[in-house]
Amino acid sequence: MATYYFLIVGHYDNPIFEMEFTSANRETKKEDHRHLTQFIAHAALDLVDEHAWKTGNAYLKTVDKFNNWLVSAFITSSHIRFLLVHEPKNEDGIRNFFSEMYEVYIKYSMNPFYQVDTDIRCAAFERKALFLARKYLTG
């Protein structure tokens, strides 16, 4: 199942943006799994923090694994964490997705009306995320 669950986590472990990407051909049949992905992503934060100090790279690759779910992470220089819960391995795609998403996020955070660590509610941001996901992940 090519489902990706993307999450941006703020400094206080608060999710500030979450989105789910599913391949077009698959319908979301599993509403009940959504909380599980949150659990997994949240638990992975521990390891993300740990990995963040072991490497200088922003892209932390796969940091955690829970059953068949993998958690890839990306950490910005301001310590905003991007998480991606996914099943299939797609390292390059995820890397690209993260870095481009980083750019999008940077642009968004430059908005003087945006306060860091608050929820991102922006249709354009979502569209962009969706586009990038289609480009690198599900597509």
Partner 1 sequence: MKNSPQEFIQKTFSPMVAVISSTAAENVCQKNNLSFIDLLRPFSRLTCEAQFRDPSGASIPVRGLQLCFRQVDHVPPPPPLARRMLDDAVASTPPSLPSNLRNSDDPNREEDVVDETHFPWFELWREEIGFLVVSSVEEEISTVERLNSLWKEVQKLSSKTTGGPKWFFTNSILKYCVVLHDESSSEPQRAEAAFSEVKCVFGVGCHLLRINSRKLNGNANDNEENGVIDYWVPYLPAQNVENAEDLLLFKEEVHDPASDSIPMQKDSIPEIGEEASPDVDKDDTDTSSIPSLSYVVQDHPLSPETEKVSMAGMNEDSENSSTKRYGSIRKNQAVMRGAHLSNADIENIKAMINDFCTRSFIPHAERLMQILHEGISNRKGMSRSLFSATKRWFGGNRPGLQGPPVPSISYASDAPELQLRRLADLCFLLGHYSVASDAYRSAKRDFAADGAWTHFAGALEMAGLAAYLHWNSPGLSQSDPTGSSAQGVGPLGAVVGGGPSSLEAAKKAIEYFDQSVLTYLNTCRMYNLATRATLLASEVLLTPWAGSKHGEAAASLVRLAGEDSDLRSALLLERASLCLLSFRQPLQTSVKLKTSSTNALQSLSPGQETAPVTPNNLTLALSASSKALPRKAALHAVLAGHRYSKAGHRPHALRCYAQAYKVYEGKGWRLAEDHIHFAMGRLASHLKRPENAAHSFSLLLSPSLNPPFYVSAFTPSPTTNQPVSPSASGPVLIPTRNQPPSQQAIFLKEFLNAQIQLKMKDTENSEKKSLPVLPIPTIEQGSVRVLLGSSPSLPDTHQQINDRVQLASGVGFGSKVEEDGNIGWAKLEENLLLAAQGSVPMLFMPTVQLYSDTTDNSISPIGVMGEPVLVQIRLCNPLGIPLPLSDIRLLWMHTPQSDSKPPTEKSSTSSDDNTSLKDEGCKGNGEGVVARTQVLPSIILAPTSNQEVVLSITPLCMGELRIQGIAFRLSNPTPGMQDTSKLSSSDSSSGNLMVEAKSPEKLWDIAMSVAFKGLPTELVGGEIRSCHIELRNVGLRSLPLRSLFVATPSPNTFCFGLNSSHADKRNAVKTGDVTLAKWRNSPVNNELGKDNVRPLPPGVWKLGTNSIAKRDGGEMLDKDSLLGPGQGLIVPMWVRGPEGQGEKSVSLSLLFYYEAADELHVGTSEIQKGSFQRSPRRPCHRLVRHSWKVEMLDAVELRGRGGGSIGEVLPGCGSSPQSLSLTLNLKNCSPSTVRPGVGMVSEVNLLRASLASLHWAFAPKKPILPVEVKLGAQESVNLLFKAHRSEDNNPNEESILFSDVLLDETMNSGVSLDPHTQHWALPAMPFSYQSRIGEEGKTGKSSSDIGDDDRAEEATITSSAESSMPTRLDATLILRWKALVKWNTMSDGAESMTKEHWAFGQHQVSIDALSLTPGSNHSILGGGVSWSQSTLHSLPNSVSQMTPLEVLQRLVTHSIFHPPRVIHDFSHSRLCLVPVKLILQNCSNYHLVVEVQTSSLGGYPANKNQLYSPHPSGQFLWVGRISAMVNLLPHASSQEAITLTAAFPAPGTYNLASRLSVSCRQCIDKKDKDVMLSLDKPNTLESEKATLEGSIELGSKDLRTHLGKDAVTQVWRVESAVVVVGA
Among 54, 56, 68, 110, binds partner 1 (CB under 8 A): 54
Q: H-helix or E-strand containing 91?
A: helix 91-109
Region binding partner 1 by CB under 8 A among candidate stretches 33-41, 84-92, 93-101, 104-112: 33-41
Environment class of residue 71 by beta-carbon count within 10 Å: exposed (0-12), middle (13-18) or buried (19+)?
buried
Among 8, 22, 45, 84, binds partner 1 (CB under 8 A): 45
Task: In angstroms, give the least distance from the CB of 59 to partner 1.
Answer: 17
The span from the CA of 111 to the CA of 114, in Å, is: 5
The span from the CA of 109 to the CA of 81, in Å, is: 14
Q: Are 74 and 61 within 8 A, CB to CB?
A: no
Among 59, 119, 122, 130, binds partner 1 (CB under 8 A): 119
Q: Which residues are at the interface with partner 1 (CB under 8 A)?
A: 10-16, 31, 34-35, 37-40, 42-47, 49-50, 52-54, 66, 79, 115, 117-119
